[in-house]
Amino acid sequence: MSQHSKVAFITGGNRGIGLQTAKDLGKAGVTIVIGARDPGKAEAAVTELRQAGITAEAVAYDATRPETDRSVYAHLEKKYGHLDILINNAGMMNEDLLSTTASTVGVNALRETFEINFFAVVRLTQTLLPLLKKSAAGRIVNLSSILGSLGVHSLPNSPIAQTKALGYNASKTALNAFTVHLAAELAGTPIKVNSAHPGWVKTELGGKHAPMEIVDGSKTSVRLALLGPDGPTGGFFHVEDTLPW
């Protein structure tokens, strides 16, 4: 299957890393479908993509509204009949990375974070999986974070030792577990499932002090989305590097 016939659905693809991922995949010939809550921002992103010569459109998707999972499925099934790439990019953080502790984080904050960063991802992926199974080379990319790595957190003198926002970190750890389990279930099929750590990027979530620019934050997602048949599955990556769970 040529990349020109591939279709990618990117949640939160109207800004930041999601939009940059859409640009990079679109320039590689992939048809882009953006899932976003705000119709105005979504259409502005689509206009930007189309001006760059990319085939793109937007559909309504809200991680807090399960009914939009089904409407996304219905749209993709009717217009394309399949899905080649699912980028689970949308996410949120409602804690301060440097001041929240495991003994002080509110249970409601934990629930809200897990609803968006974990449960919504699992639900959407399960909904769209029948379309991915119709692809000759389905790819699922879950946007995780090195902050979800128990291995790195546990290192002596860990480089992320001070970032113990339990809700965000644990939601990404859970997302990594979903990656491992789904990849194992789909072993022997054309579908590959991987977790991506984009890096600390200058976005609304990453903040202005992040060392990486948005143009570099999409590299891991794009690589995993375009993996060849011999590429890895069930892994956790930052660009070419494999990260510990």
What is the predicted pLDDT for the residue at 205?
Answer: 56
Domain range 3-242, its CATH number among 3.10.330.20, 3.40.50.720, 3.40.50.300, 3.30.750.24 = 3.40.50.720
Higher-confidence residue of 176 and 93: namely 176
Q: In 10 A of CB 166, how many CB atoms? A: 18
Percent of residues, the chain, with pLDDT higher than 70: 92
Cα-only R_g, the chain: 17
* pTM of the predicted protein model: 0.93
Q: Grade residue 1 by pLDDT with cuts at 50, 70 and 90.
A: very low
What is the predicted pLDDT for the residue at 3?
Answer: 52
What is the C-alpha to C-alpha distance for residues 225 and 84, in angstroms, rounded to an integer? 9
**What phi-psi label fits residue 7: left (phi over 0), alpha (psi between -120 and 50 degrees) or beta?**
beta
Q: DSSP string of 189-202? A: SS-EEEEE---SBS
45 φ/ψ angles, rounded to the nearest 5 degrees: -65, -45
Q: Does residue 61 have an active-site annotation?
A: no
Q: Grade residue 164 by pLDDT with cuts at 50, 70 and 90.
A: confident
DSSP state of 212: B
Quote the strand ranges of the chain, DSSP E: 7-11, 31-36, 56-60, 85-88, 139-143, 192-196, 236-238, 241-242
- Give the tens place of pLDDT for each residue, 107-162: 999 999 999 999 999 999 999 999 999 999 999 999 999 999 999 999 999 888 88
Q: Residue 21 in contact with residue 10, Cβ under 8 Å?
A: yes
What is the predicted pLDDT for the residue at 233?
Answer: 98
pLDDT at 209 over 60: no
- Domain ranges for the chain: 3-242
